[in-house]
A = this chain, B = another copy of it.
Amino acid sequence: MPAQPSHNPPPVTPDPGPEALRADARENRERILRAAREAYALHGIDVPISAIARRAGVGVATLYRRFPTRTSLITEAFTEQLTECAGALDEALEDPDPWRGFCTVLRKVCAMQAADRGFTHAFLARFPGDTAYAGERDRAEEGLALLVRRAKEAGALRPDFDVSDVVLTLLANNGVANGAGPQAAAASRRLVGYLLESFRAGPATGPLPQPVGLELDRLGGTG
């Protein structure tokens, strides 16, 4: 649907969208995102913008024209992984064995956390006034609650497990992923192994400390 040639005035070009860009600009946009993902995965979320620009082979101004603020770049860079997480949850929900689905999704997301230094930061960080992920997050919370309920009803997940314990797991895994250096992946696997054993319904488990109402959006690094 080609537009009228002479005047088709978008009010203030609020967000042209990547498709409306000139070919070279779109190419550069992709290069920037790739460079950002690599840099975040390797060095965490604190890498300077200039380093990303250098890695992408573009000037700083180019980066800023495409991603006006630091957080907009981070948001965009991790959308792919967030989608992957959502996909893992969907798969888990389709598994006829809810406990297996539960284990699989936790293992998968934790492995992603361990493989990418920046991912967790982006995943858990509070983006000031940001609603970019809100939709995904709500959907994830619903799906998670459903999965947990099913696993409990199947008698495989302990009854005093709380949905917020998933967030607890992610936070704990985050600590391991960020702290264990080159052994992050292996350490994360072992932690998740321990926790899943704990989560499994068993004969004689004593009372746990109270669950905490951790929510995905109330988490955040240093605030």
Contact = CB atoms under 8 A, between A and B. Distances in A.
Contacts of A117: 222
Interface string A27-62: 000000000000000011010000000000000000
Contacts of A180: 168, 171, 212, 214, 219
A198 B190 contact: no
| Size class of the contact patch on chain A | 35 or more
Contacts of A43: 222
Contacts of A212: 180, 183, 186-187, 190
Contacts of A190: 165, 168, 208-212
Q: Which 3 A-B pairs have the closest CB atoms?
A: A175-B175, A172-B172, A189-B209
Interface of A: 43-44, 46, 117, 124, 165, 168, 171-181, 183, 186-187, 189-195, 197-199, 202-203, 205-206, 208-214, 218-223
